[in-house]
Amino acid sequence: MDRKNISCAKANANIAIIKYWGKKDEKLKIPFNNSISFTLDAFYTITKIENSSEDEFYINDTKQDEQEKTKIFNFVKNFRSDFNQKIKISSYNSMPTAAGLSSSSSGFAALTLALNKHFNTNKSIDELSRISRLGSGSSSRSFHTPFCLWKSDDDINSIGTKVDSNLDLSMIIVIVNDKKKEISSNQGMKMCVDSSSIFEKWYTQANIDSLKMISYLKNNDFTNVGKLMESNTNLMHRTTLFCETPFSYLTYKTYKVIDLIKQIRKSGLECYYTMDAGPNVKILCKKEDSYQIYEILSKTYPKDKLILSNCGKGFEVWSE
């Protein structure tokens, strides 16, 4: 068999149930507050790296522009010691890129794992989580499944760690818009750090929420996990409304999904909403109820706009 020696990695995206929103240190990506995530089996990135005559970067077979390429190859420096060893990086996202569906979390985690394999750097999981964070903060949480805590320690070694829980949960994603967002999460959180009048309230509360969330997860208390995820989401999105130039990631379509979730809940099926830097809604529920909730949602939304996902099974690394 013709082996081209391609280094490959697959990482799941993660969705925050306590949000990361604001950096104390932009360059090192040190967050103001702790965050906690849930990994998704259906949302992932596969990244392949092979030696090449020039540095190249592709997402879903599309060559990326110079700006994207420069960003990615600055990150490659964390692994490549010989600059003359050129590589081609090809990434494949299972979900729309940069639409608030957490593609950067799986993107940088998969890239980190593939680079570690390609350059034989043999770094530990903690070290990989730390390096991945430098690419995109949320990706530091993609190294542990299903629940991961990323602490806001004033520490350049800030990494994701596993949170214990026996909860068996699923997420249903309602895609109301899969276009690339106008204000990236990086820009949005910076605007909030710089000018949101409730920013201090946000991160103080988020740190309190994270401790409560750890205890609800440990006690397998789904009702309180869901309620706290919603209140944390609501406060994060309120920060954007209190900026000098207010903005919002949420649209009337988002609120229509939220109304439906509230109705489903009233009917006795427990489910809770969260949104990130985009209008799409992620619904957390018990795995045992997930199909029934999916069927109810599909009466209002076409099935190609609904994605039902169980928790991620963990990353994979291999060669081809």
Contacting residues toward ligand DP6, per CB under 6 A: 16, 19-21, 29, 35, 104, 136-138, 185-186, 276-277
Closer of 8 and 89 to ligand DP6 (Cβ):
89
* Minimum distance from residue 138 beta carbon to ligand DP6 (Å): 3
Closer of 16 and 89 to ligand DP6 (Cβ):
16
Distance between CA 122 and CA 185 in Å, rounded? 31
Structural tokens at position 312: 């991620």
* Minimum distance from residue 6 beta carbon to ligand DP6 (Å): 26
* Minimum distance from residue 38 beta carbon to ligand DP6 (Å): 11
* Minimum distance from residue 51 beta carbon to ligand DP6 (Å): 28
C-alpha pair distances (Å), 130 with each of 11, 140, 141, 160, 174 = 15, 6, 10, 8, 31
Closer of 186 and 205 to ligand DP6 (Cβ):
186
CB neighbourhood size of 319 (10 A): 15
Closer of 87 and 250 to ligand DP6 (Cβ):
250
* Minimum distance from residue 29 beta carbon to ligand DP6 (Å): 5
Closer of 198 and 296 to ligand DP6 (Cβ):
198
Q: Residues of 33-42 as b/e, b for ≥16 C-beta within 10 angstroms? A: bbbbbbbbbb
Q: Residues of 250-277 as b/e, b for ≥16 C-beta within 10 angstroms? A: beebbeebbebbeebbeeebebbbbbbb
* Minimum distance from residue 313 beta carbon to ligand DP6 (Å): 20
Distance between CA 287 and CA 204 in Å, rounded? 32
Closer of 8 and 181 to ligand DP6 (Cβ):
181
Name the residue among 62, 46, 49 with its Cα closest to residue 103. 46
Structural tokens at position 91: 């990434």
